[in-house]
Amino acid sequence: MKRNFAIIGCGRIAQRHAEQINRVGELIAVCDLEISKAELLANQFNAKSYMSVDEMLKCEPTIEIVSVCSPNYLHKEHTILALNAEKDVLCEKPLAIKVSDAEDMIEAAKKNNRKLYVVKSSRFNYYVKKLKELIENNTLGKIYTYNLNMVWNRPISYFQNSWKGTIEKDGGILFTQFSHYIDALIWLLGDVDSFSGFRSNRSDKKIESEDSGAIALKMKSGVIGTMHYTINAFEKNQEISLNIIAENATLKIGGEFMHQIIYQKPENIFHLENEMESKVSNSMSNHEVIYDNLILAINNSSSSLPSADSAIKCIQLIENIYKTIRN
């Protein structure tokens, strides 16, 4: 039986969600404060459009799952409204831009006995999953150090007439651009013990957060590494790459979305098949596998979809960086 879905927030990312919902279930309602955006998405998928979340939830009682795709600062409000209406929720990243907000969302899910999941697409990247296996199986031996390099382009036009680029609504570029990859780092290497670094804004984008940063981190395991990030790449995204230097191997996965093998020594450490390499080389958002796992999770089957609880560590690290390291 196909599940009934609704989407809150009809911006760019909502299109990806709608396409996958149409594949695994039925999109019956969408909501956005800009009714023209809601109508455009609704007409494309034969759904009803609303401007008010409350009205949508009241008028569409058959909604079972709500996908929250609204701006970062509205994730808490919209998620809790859906949970209080006894709907399960899939929330886009970041789950929230404050740990306290995330905790309130998780508490609302428990109170209403509903399920709350968060989009952590990098965990479904084939190479990231394979690296996780190599680490858990101790194939790499002792990990000596690492480097996470995140170099993207976001032009001035991206921030103009938008909630993006503001601390109150956006949270900062670590939340909006790079939280997927910071989450992957913690998922792979464990909790962060301490950090230090620098943040700066040297472009003319006139945003409230930094446009670049360099952070040195020590994990609770004792592994030390660095995290460099910027949205000032010339004209286009350059890469998201992760170097792992370990006892038994040196590895680098990279490409624009950390979806390619750049270097591996020994050369067969990943044991990849050509067919699989070709398939994952085109991987970007992984929303297809996210929705496959969402349906499994909703049906109480085995699923690797991250729960909201697993998002707390990433939010905590980013929140602490912004509190501790001055821009």
Q: What is the CATH number of the domain that holds 22?
A: 3.40.50.720
Position 172 in a domain: yes
**Domain end residue (candidates: 118, 148, 168):** 118
Whether 150 and 277 map to the same domain: the answer is yes
Tokens of 198: 């620098």
Residue 277's Cβ-count burial label (10 Å; 0-12, 13-18, 19+) is middle
Crossing angle for the helix pair 312-324 and 179-189, nearest 10 degrees? 110
Position 326 in a domain: no
CATH number at residue 191: 3.30.360.10
Whether 214 and 181 map to the same domain: the answer is yes
Residues 6+ apart with CB under 8 A from 147: 225, 226, 227, 228, 241, 242, 243
Phi, psi of 129 (to 5 degrees): -60, -40
What is the per-residue pLDDT for 98? 97
Whether 79 and 97 map to the same domain: the answer is yes
Number of Cβ within 10 Å of residue 46's Cβ equals 10
Helix (H), strand (E) at residue 58: helix 53-59
* Count of domains for the chain: 2
Q: What is the tens place of the pLDDT at every residue in 212-244?
A: 999 999 999 999 999 999 999 999 999 999 999
**Domain end residue (candidates: 118, 134, 162):** 118
What is the per-residue pLDDT for 281? 44
Give the span between the Cα atoms of 243 and 264, in whole angstroms. 10
Whether 194 and 237 map to the same domain: the answer is yes
Position 306 in a domain: no
Whether 148 and 280 map to the same domain: the answer is yes
Q: What is the tens place of the pLDDT at every residue in 236-274?
A: 999 999 999 999 999 999 998 888 899 999 988 887 655
pTM here is 0.94
Whether 201 and 78 map to the same domain: the answer is no
What is the per-residue pLDDT for 187? 97
Residue 3's Cβ-count burial label (10 Å; 0-12, 13-18, 19+) is middle
Q: Pick from 322, 294, 214, 306: which is nearest to 2 by CA?
A: 294
Whether 87 and 57 map to the same domain: the answer is yes
Position 279 in a domain: yes
Position 323 in a domain: no
Position 249 in a domain: yes
What is the per-residue pLDDT for 278? 43
Helix (H), strand (E) at residue 145: strand 143-151
**Domain end residue (candidates: 53, 86, 118):** 118
Position 316 in a domain: no
Quote the domain boundaries for residue 47. 4-118
What is the per-residue pLDDT for 130? 93
Whether 68 and 208 map to the same domain: the answer is no
Low-confidence ranges of the chain (pLDDT < 50): 275, 278, 281-283
Whether 83 and 221 map to the same domain: the answer is no
> In 3-state terms, what secondary structure has residue 150?
strand
Whether 144 and 226 map to the same domain: the answer is yes
Position 327 in a domain: no
Asked if 280 contacts 287 with a C-beta cutoff of 8 angstroms, the reply is no
Give the span between the Cα atoms of 155 and 91, in whole angstroms. 26
b/e sequence 51-89, b meaning 16+ C-beta within 10 Å: eebeebbeebeebbbbbbbbbbbbbbbbbbbbbebebbb
Asked if 236 contacts 191 with a C-beta cutoff of 8 angstroms, the reply is no
Whether 132 and 237 map to the same domain: the answer is yes
What is the per-residue pLDDT for 327? 83
Whether 149 and 135 map to the same domain: the answer is yes
Query: What is the DSSP pairing of strand 224-230 with strand 143-151?
Result: parallel
Q: Pick from 57, 64, 8: which is nearest to 31 by CA?
A: 8
Give the span between the Cα atoms of 215 and 189, in whole angstroms. 16
